[in-house]
Amino acid sequence: MLDDSEHIISVGDTLLDRYPDVFSADFEENKYQVEKLTDVESKRVRNRIAGYVTRKRDDAR
C-alpha cells in the first residue's frame, strides 16, 4: 500500500503521462482537470495532486 505522498506522486505522474497537454502551470486550472479526470473525492488529495502537477509543469518550463 502506498503512503499518502507516494500516492500523490503516482497519480500525478500517471495523469501527466496520459494527458500531457491538459495541465499547465496554473494551479486553479489543474485543480479542475484533476477533478474531471480522476475519481478523487477528497478536496485535500485533489489539491495536493494539482499542486504536484503544477510544480512539475512549472519546473519543466
Residue with cell 485543480: 31
Using only C-alpha atoms, what is the Rg of the chain? Answer: 10
Chain mean position to CA 2: 16
Task: Write out pLDDT tens, residues 22-35.
Answer: 999 999 999 999 99
pTM here is 0.90
pLDDT in the model for residue 29: 98
Over its length of 61 residues, how does the chain's per-residue pLDDT go in tens digits?
Answer: 567 899 999 999 999 999 999 999 999 999 999 999 999 999 999 999 999 999 998 887 6
